[in-house]
């Protein structure tokens, strides 16, 4: 499968620029132009940026200049120049025959009104048209780019992803009902994985679908149910499952932790993320389970995490009467809060390019109360 390197960091960034370009808010339009400028800088290193994106940025910039400065001579020249560039570049791209075709014919073949090509000729070789006519032409050019580039690519990037999610959801539900053979579901997952290797969305999609099934079905043999997903999607899927919402209220949470950990070889950072997910889940049955104790002992023994403090706090919470408030266990709450801060510090240091000797005061901590998360 071929890969294309693009200047945007993720599909959502591309969509954000799309939304901003065609927003009625001029500040958002300017933001889209600024982001495209960053993309152009990245493209200087050999990464290709679509001509349609560049033309959209130029056209929107010319419109903003008109809205800011009014109908000045420099604005008219800018609008005409951008408009001429649009028609010329698109017509040059479509000159594929041995003999060059008239610009008017190419525009007609591309679905651009013929008067646009005539206006381009007049702007380039005669007098500049009126500002109102030029602005109308710019709007038509922007709409053409929206219909021919932005909408089709939006469909590929987002609507097809949603269809892929629905496919995974259907496979998961059929597998839960024993309505599909294990070999068939593996083949389907392999086909989806081949299409999805570039984005990696299949791992999180499958995890979400399994979360939904586990929250609604009380008669699943978990290890057997997860087997085709684990076999095909391997560790990335398992890690998505353990750091998602599955641990929050599922009766399978402790068994899930045990089954999944058998499929993973974790480094310290991954273990910390799973611990954070467990503590945030608010699932006291999970936190007081043997599987969770085994996870702590196996993966976090010898780290800065105080395992004894966590198990002691969970034990207190399990025995807490319903009418006892958090304030009655302020000392435990403070200690648990320190543990969660320690997790954030360790993860921050792992992400940082600075030496690990970085002082605690320089690490930004996201504050939250561990017991409130567990109790609420």
* pLDDT tens figures, 10-64: 888 898 999 999 999 999 999 999 999 999 888 776 667 888 899 999 999 988 9
- What was the pLDDT predicted at 31? 94
How far apart are alpha carbons 200 and 193 in whole angstroms? Answer: 8
* Helices 51-69 + 11-21 axis angle, to 10: 40
Please write the tens of the pLDDT for every residue from 279-318.
877 777 888 888 888 888 888 887 778 888 888 777 777 7
Summary mean pLDDT of the chain:
76
Q: Which residue has the higher pLDDT, 99 or 316?
A: 316
Q: Looking at the predicted structure, is the pLDDT value of residue 95 above 60?
A: no
With b for 16 or more beta-carbon neighbours within 10 A and e for fewer, the 327-361 pattern comes to: eebeebbebbbebbbbbbbbbbbeeeeeeeeeeee
Tell me if 4 sits within 8 A of 153, measured CB to CB. Answer: no
Residue 324: pLDDT band (50, 70, 90) is: very low
**DSSP state, 150?**
I
Q: What is the secondary structure of 220-238 as a DSSP string?
A: --HHHHHHHHHHHHHHHHH
- What was the pLDDT predicted at 352? 40
Q: What is the secondary structure of 271-321 as a DSSP string?
A: HHHHHHHHHHHT-HHHHTSHHHHHHHHHHSTTSSS-HHHHHHHHHHHHH--
Task: Report the pLDDT averaged over residues 59-87.
Answer: 83
Q: Looking at the predicted structure, is the pLDDT value of residue 347 above 60?
A: yes
Question: In the chain, how many H helices and how many E strands?
Answer: 20, 0
Please write the tens of the pLDDT for every residue from 190-229.
888 877 665 567 788 888 888 888 877 667 888 888 888 8
- What was the pLDDT predicted at 360? 33
Please write the tens of the pLDDT for every residue from 223-249.
888 888 888 888 778 887 787 766 665
H-helix segments, 126-252: 131-145, 151-154, 160-176, 182-196, 201-216, 222-242, 246-249
With b for 16 or more beta-carbon neighbours within 10 A and e for fewer, the 143-179 pattern comes to: ebbbeebbeebbeeeeeebeebbebbbebbbebbeee
Q: Which residue has the higher pLDDT, 85 or 89?
A: 85
């Amino acid at each position: 499968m071929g890969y294309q390197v693009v200047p945007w960091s993720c599909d959502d960034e591309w969509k954000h620029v799309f939304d901003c370009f065609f927003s009625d808010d001029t500040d958002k339009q300017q933001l889209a132009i600024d982001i495209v400028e960053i993309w152009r800088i990245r493209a200087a290193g050999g990464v290709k940026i679509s001509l349609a994106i560049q033309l959209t940025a130029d056209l929107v910039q010319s419109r903003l200049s008109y809205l800011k400065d009014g109908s000045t001579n420099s604005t008219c020249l800018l609008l005409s120049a951008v408009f001429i560039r649009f028609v010329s570049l698109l017509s040059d791209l479509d000159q594929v025959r041995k003999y060059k075709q008239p610009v008017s014919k190419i525009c007609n073949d591309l679905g651009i009104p013929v008067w646009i090509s005539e206006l381009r000729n007049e702007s380039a070789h005669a007098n500049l048209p009126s500002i109102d006519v030029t602005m109308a032409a710019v709007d038509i050019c922007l709409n053409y780019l929206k219909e021919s580039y932005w909408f089709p690519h939006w469909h590929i990037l987002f609507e097809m992803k949603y269809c892929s999610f629905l496919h995974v959801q259907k496979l998961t539900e059929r597998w839960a009902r024993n309505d599909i053979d294990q070999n068939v579901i593996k083949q389907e997952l392999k086909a989806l994985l081949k299409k999805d290797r570039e984005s990696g969305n299949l791992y999180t999609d499958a995890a979400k679908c399994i979360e939904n099934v586990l929250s609604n079905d009380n008669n699943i043999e978990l290890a057997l149910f997860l087997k085709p997903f684990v076999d095909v999607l391997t560790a990335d899927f398992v890690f998505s499952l353990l750091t998602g919402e599955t641990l929050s209220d599922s009766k399978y949470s402790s068994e899930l932790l045990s089954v999944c950990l058998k499929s993973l070889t974790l480094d310290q950072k991954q273990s910390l993320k799973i611990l954070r997910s467990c503590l945030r889940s608010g699932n006291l049955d999970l936190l007081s389970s043997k599987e969770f104790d085994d996870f702590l002992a196996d993966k976090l023994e010898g780290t800065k995490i105080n395992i004894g403090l966590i198990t002691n706090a969970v034990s207190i919470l399990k025995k807490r009467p319903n009418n006892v408030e958090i304030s009655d266990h302020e000392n435990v709450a403070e200690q648990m809060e320190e543990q969660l801060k320690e997790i954030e510090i360790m993860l921050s240091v792992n992400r940082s390019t600075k030496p690990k000797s970085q002082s605690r005061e320089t690490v930004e901590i996201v504050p939250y109360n561990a017991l409130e998360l567990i109790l609420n």
